[in-house]
Amino acid sequence: MPNLKGNVLNIADLRELARKRLTKALFDFCDKGSEDQVNMRANRLALDNIKLMPRMLRDVSTRDPGINLFGKDHSLPMIIGPTGPAGFVWYRGETELAKAAAKANIPFTLASTSNTPMEDIYKNGGGTQWFQLYVWQDIEASLVTAKRALDTGYEALVLTVDSPVYNNREIDIRNGLKFPPTINARTALDVMIHPRWLFGTLTKYYLAEGRLPAFSNIHIPDEQKENAKTYVSASTKGFLNRNETLDWEFVKRLRDVWPKKLLIKCVLHPDDASMAASCGVDGIFVSNHAGNVNDSAITAWDALPAISDAVGSKLTIIADTGIRRGSDVLKGIALGADVIAVGRATLYGVAAAGEAGA
């Protein structure tokens, strides 16, 4: 465990610790986006270009950044968003993230592609927990997953909608990265020169479970198990392909079967935000998936003002992508968000030092 006190001053420091600990393939998966990384750079540039105009001589001796989100009080206007590889970068990393969120009194969102069973995370993580859902080839199987999250106790369901086909993450294909990660002639050296990940994560899984678990929270029918053993970006074929037929009718159907809070993630157009409101959802994530999907998409920060104007009085608006400092959170709220989600920032942290880093 690295000594964080005095050595880590910001998210960039955590990123560097994560880079040193993880294999190159895993770090690139956490750190990079799709295709030419244009969208990733644009996300950060958009935030950097937002300037604040402060007012002076105000009594700020009493400050309370807390919010009420869906009827619950939280200490910050932030949530931890879904990050699928958390359990691959740290042993049971999803639980570590959930614990960190509970300690900070902010919600945690579990990714459906995580590898620790949702029941274990819900039981051991504590705090307010949400579940993120992808819709795979078998729509009914996805609904079974949603029902499982409901029965477990997750308080909100977050439907990600910007990936009806797999994103083209060329860097993962070049690195030979698959999920679950495998050791072969191509990846063995990368693993061996990162002993802290090898012994701190991979070996722990094999000692405890006999394997590196994956897809623990995706309902895979027995007849599809042979077609759902692995995936890698755009080259994936089989059950774990995303569903190309996903439309607003499915959102309405999901609204009928999910009685708790329902949110849609990766909305960038005000008309889609209005459609979401008309379907009865409770909130949206204004997000371009952190640059992981459409390399030419508008940034969340450029999209946010128009979406806030369209549905700010109807929906809870959560915005994400590129958040690295508290000033970024302030900028997002100033643009019209109610809450800001962080993803890579806490993923770097958990990869570097588990709960303490997150």
Residues designated as active site: 289
Question: Per the omega criterion (within 30 degrees of 0), is the bond before 195 cis?
Answer: no
Residues paired with residue 262 on neighbouring β-strands, in sequence order:
157
Half-sphere exposure (Cβ direction) of 246: Cα atoms closer than 13 Å: 24
Give residues with Cβ within 8 angstroms of 49, minimum separation 6: none
Cα–Cα nearest to 306, from 341, 269, 339: 269
Rounded to whole angstroms, the Cα distance separating 346 from 78 reads 12
